[in-house]
């Protein structure tokens, strides 16, 4: 099976981030998922661009910034100069998504949009041709360790069908509640990228490695 994993360092041990980044680096094509929460768009505050800048030099993996903030336009230049490769903002956090998409593109970064489980996918349908990434939330944004919302499967399939019909160069990423019980079904539904927080950092590394490598070697029907 073909997929990319994007471990979220929100579930890592913040006291030893460089070691945690090395674990991600054991999968050379994996991405580092960075969950930015501002205490306003979601209740929790996590970390900001200074931390991302500081850890950038300890990893050569792609940095996938997921902004769960109000006024994302203020954060884009900061994360761009901190070393982000992809910047994803929430459709619910702005009235002018096209301006934000252009702003990210102008910094030469890849552009993503995300949506909460309750936000209709029809709301972002017209944006898809302008995006590099669609981040489908499979839990309510704000915390790791939640249970995968089952209706996400239909949302992934819906987007996958549009992607194929319109020949879009779009990556479908799925974020929240992904573990070894559900990962394969998420890929089969159409996900290109699996964001993993508590499963990746809360499971013995050898077990994670065996599971991911096993899934990669599995033939698709």
Among ligand DX5, Zn ion, none, what does residue 139 contact (CB within 5–8 Å per kind)?
Answer: ligand DX5
Residue 85 known to be catalytic? no
Is residue 117 at the binding interface for ligand DX5, with CB under 6 A as the rule?
no
List the interface residues with Zn ion, window 79-98 (CB under 5 A).
none
Comparison of 168 and 185: residue with beta carbon closer to ligand DX5: 185
Distance CA 65, CA 87 (A): 5
Is residue 30 at the binding interface for ligand DX5, with CB under 6 A as the rule?
no
Is residue 133 at the binding interface for ligand DX5, with CB under 6 A as the rule?
no
Please state, as a whole number, how many other Cβ atoms lie within 10 Å of the Cβ of residue 82.
Answer: 20
| Helix (H) / strand (E) containing 5 | strand 4-7
The pair of structure tokens assigned to 151 is 């209706």
Among ligand DX5, Zn ion, none, what does residue 10 contact (CB within 5–8 Å per kind)?
Answer: ligand DX5
CA dihedral 87, 114, 201, 78 (to 10 degrees): 30
Of 13, 130, 175, 192, catalytic: 175
With H, G, I as helix, E, B as strand and everything else as coil, classify residue 195.
strand
Distance CA 93, CA 192 (A): 24
Please state, as a whole number, how many other Cβ atoms lie within 10 Å of the Cβ of residue 97.
Answer: 21
Distance CA 123, CA 11 (A): 30
List the interface residues with ligand DX5, window 58-97 (CB under 6 A).
66
Comparison of 168 and 215: residue with beta carbon closer to ligand DX5: 215
Radius of gyration, alpha carbons of the chain: 16
Distance CA 87, CA 166 (A): 23
Is residue 208 at the binding interface for ligand DX5, with CB under 6 A as the rule?
no
Distance CA 166, CA 201 (A): 37
Instruction: Convert residues 169-198 into a mask of x (bound to Zn ion by CB under 5 A) and - (unbound).
Output: ------x-----------------------
C-alpha 184 chain-centroid distance: 17
Residue 175 known to be catalytic? yes
Is residue 132 at the binding interface for Zn ion, with CB under 5 A as the rule?
no
Ramachandran angles phi, psi of 144, nearest 5°: -90, 170
Q: How far is the CB of 114 from ligand DX5 (least distance, A)?
A: 8
Q: How far is the CB of 68 from Zn ion (least distance, A)?
A: 7
When binding is defined by CB under 5 A, the residue of 20, 35, 38, 132 that contacts Zn ion is 35
Q: Which residues are catalytic?
A: 35, 175
List of residues contacting Zn ion (CB under 5 A): 35, 66, 175
For binding to ligand DX5 (CB under 6 A), which residues are involved?
8, 10-11, 33, 35, 66, 139, 141-146, 175-178, 195-199
């Amino acid at each position: 099976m073909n997929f990319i994993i994007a471990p979220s360092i929100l579930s890592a041990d913040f006291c030893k981030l460089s070691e945690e980044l090395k674990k991600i680096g054991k999968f050379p094509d994996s991405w580092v998922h960075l969950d930015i929460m501002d205490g306003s768009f979601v209740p929790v505050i996590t970390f900001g661009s200074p931390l991302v800048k500081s850890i950038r030099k300890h990893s050569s993996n792609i940095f996938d910034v997921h902004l769960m903030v109000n006024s994302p336009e203020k954060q884009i230049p900061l994360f761009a100069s901190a070393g982000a490769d992809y910047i994803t903002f929430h459709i619910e956090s702005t009235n002018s998504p096209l301006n934000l998409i252009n702003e990210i593109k102008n910094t030469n970064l890849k552009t993503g949009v995300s949506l909460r489980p309750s936000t209709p996918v029809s709301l972002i349908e017209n944006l898809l041709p302008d995006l590099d990434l669609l981040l489908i939330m499979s839990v309510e944004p704000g915390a790791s360790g939640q249970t995968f919302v089952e209706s996400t499967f239909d949302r992934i399939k819906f987007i996958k069908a549009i992607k194929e019909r319109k020949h879009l160069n779009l990556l479908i990423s799925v974020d929240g509640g992904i573990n070894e019980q559900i990962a394969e079904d998420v890929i089969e539904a159409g996900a290109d990228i699996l964001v993993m927080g508590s499963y990746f950092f809360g499971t013995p590394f050898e077990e994670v490695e065996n599971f991911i490598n096993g899934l990669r070697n599995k033939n698709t029907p």
